[in-house]
Structure 1
């Protein structure tokens, strides 16, 4: 891994662990093993490096989700795979945690990739749910966009509850409850 990559990966980890304010240039340099000159050779400063790290986290999330959503299986199976994806539940979502960081949310450039990835996720999930509704797999009364929004909210809220309880069991219960929203269409109730 070259110096630029070490700087980005170190910043991603530090943002996840400490947030923007707690991620100092010195901490980034220490974690990455890069000197100050190297850091400023590749990036204009901490905001520029943080933006590269946030974009990388958002891109990684998007790629992982897309792999599941475009993979094999029914709509419910793909959504279930996504919601039960192996995660570091007690650390939280590396992108979702950024929404709790006032400095990231106050900076339009840093906030943009966070906002964009959650908008993409919600829209992509809504499209998948619409597919399931059209195929009769999901109840015809299901609203894809509001259900997708609820599922993304349950996922992010599940992280918060798991962290608060110091137990991944709370997250699992939240996911089980969310999956109950996707009960298969009753005979004669789906779109035909």
Structure 2
């Protein structure tokens, strides 16, 4: 791995564990096995490196979510697959946790990839709900944007509750509850219109 890559990966890990203030240039250099000269040769400073790290984390979150959301199956199957996919629940979301970092939120440039990722996720989920409605899989009574916001809030809130309790049980309960609320809105297969 190149020095810039090691620096970005070290920063990503430290931001997830410690937040922006707790991620010192010295800690980044130690974790990356890079000297101060190397760091400042490739990046103008901590903020520049943090931005590269936040962008990388956001890109990876979108790519991993798209594996499930863009897969085969009904809208409900894809949404439930996203909700039930394997996660390190007790560590929390590497993007969602950045929303609780006052230094990230106060900096428009650092906050932008976080906002863009959460907006993308809500938009992607809303499009899946709309697709399910067009195919006759989901009730037309559902408001796609509201369902998308609820899915994101359940996941992000589930992380917070799990971390607070030291158990994945609250996250799992939130997911089960949301899926139970969606189930009555599934349309009977015999009433589906072929081809949407």
Instruction: Pick the TM interval, shorter chain.
Output: over 0.9
Counterpart for residue 45 of structure 1? 45
RMSD: 1.5
Counterpart for residue 118 of structure 1? 118
Counterpart for residue 181 of structure 1? 181
Contact 1:129 1:144 in 2 (8 A): yes
For 2:176 and 2:191, how far apart are their aligned partners in 1? 23
**Mapping 1:33-72, distance limit 5 Å:** 33-72=33-72
Counterpart for residue 152 of structure 2? 152
Q: Check if 1:136 corresponds to 2:154.
A: no
Q: What residue ranges of structure 2 are gaps of 5+ in the alignment?
A: none
1:185 CA drift (Å): 2.5
For 1:148 and 1:177, how far apart are their aligned partners in 2? 15
For 1:178 and 1:13, how far apart are their aligned partners in 2? 30
Contact 2:137 2:189 in 1 (8 A): no
How does the TM-score come out when normalised to structure 1? Answer: 0.96
How does the TM-score come out when normalised to structure 2? Answer: 0.94
For 1:4 and 1:187, how far apart are their aligned partners in 2? 52
The 3-state SS of whatever aligns with 1:90 is: helix
Counterpart for residue 10 of structure 1? 10
**Mapping 1:97-112, distance limit 5 Å:** 97-112=97-112
Contact 2:137 2:188 in 1 (8 A): no
Stretches of 4+ aligned residues off by more than 2 angstroms: 185-192
The 3-state SS of whatever aligns with 1:31 is: helix
Contact 1:12 1:57 in 2 (8 A): yes
Contact 1:136 1:190 in 2 (8 A): yes
For 2:54 and 2:191, how far apart are their aligned partners in 1? 43
The 3-state SS of whatever aligns with 1:72 is: coil
Q: Check if 1:30 corresponds to 2:30.
A: yes
Q: Which region of structure 1 is more displaced relative to structure 2, 63-72 or 85-94? A: 63-72
For 2:87 and 2:189, how far apart are their aligned partners in 1? 35
1:104-137 Cα shifts (integer Å, max 9, x gaps)? 0000000000000000100010000111111111
Q: Which region of structure 1 is more displaced relative to structure 2, 168-177 or 106-115? A: 168-177
